[in-house]
Amino acid sequence: MEEKERLRKIFRSKRKAINESERMALSQKIVVQAMLFLSQYPDLRHVHVFLPIDRLHEINTVLLLRKLLDEGYQVYGSVTDSLVKKMSTVRLAADTRFEADKMGIPVPVKPEFTPDLEIELVFVPLLAVDSKGNRIGYGMGYYDRFLAGLGEKVIKVGLSYFEAEASLPVDVHDVPLDACVFPDGFIIFNQ
């Protein structure tokens, strides 16, 4: 765990060092690559997207949300319950209005809760990813628990500003990714 915390600090600093206009340009490139990745799955229509926490300088996935909706995808997000450390799925639409929750996560003002059953692909936040699909998140385990509950058929795709590391420390509860999208391309793991 100490090594993961050390790496979290390093990647938070690297992310913070990216200025706002560069972050927007990188986010736009990631959206293009994410849509290219999705084009490999023409029958896939149900996509879960994380929404960006501004204070953490996350990839602007609002751009991805809009693009997915424009392309006719059914899009989902999550509302986090910090008391039970669980994420609940909500349907997102073009007219969904958001407000920040107490953790700074954008959530729908009027959430439309829905079962996870239709989700076919999840775009996952991360600080770092390695060449095998192992990721380092923020250390709370929300996405590992969420992904573990979805089943093996759901495609798990990270979004990252930074290229994959050679290797990262892994804990027994960590759920590996199937792929990761970067500004200049994507990697499919374990093929």
Q: Which residues are annotated as a binding site?
A: 4-8, 51, 58, 135-143
CA distances from 3 to 10, 147, 169 (A): 11, 23, 7
Annotated binding site for substrate: 51, 58
Sign of dihedral through CA atoms 48, 53, 21, 167? negative
**158 bridge partner residues:** 124, 180
Annotated binding site for ATP: 4-8, 135-143
CA distances from 76 to 49, 57, 173, 189 (A): 6, 21, 24, 24
The neighbour count for residue 153, using CB atoms within 10 Å, is 7
Q: Cα 131 from chain centroid? A: 17
Strands 106-108 and 128-129 come out as: unpaired
Tokens of 84: 């039970």
Residues in the chain: 191
**108 bridge partner residues:** 98
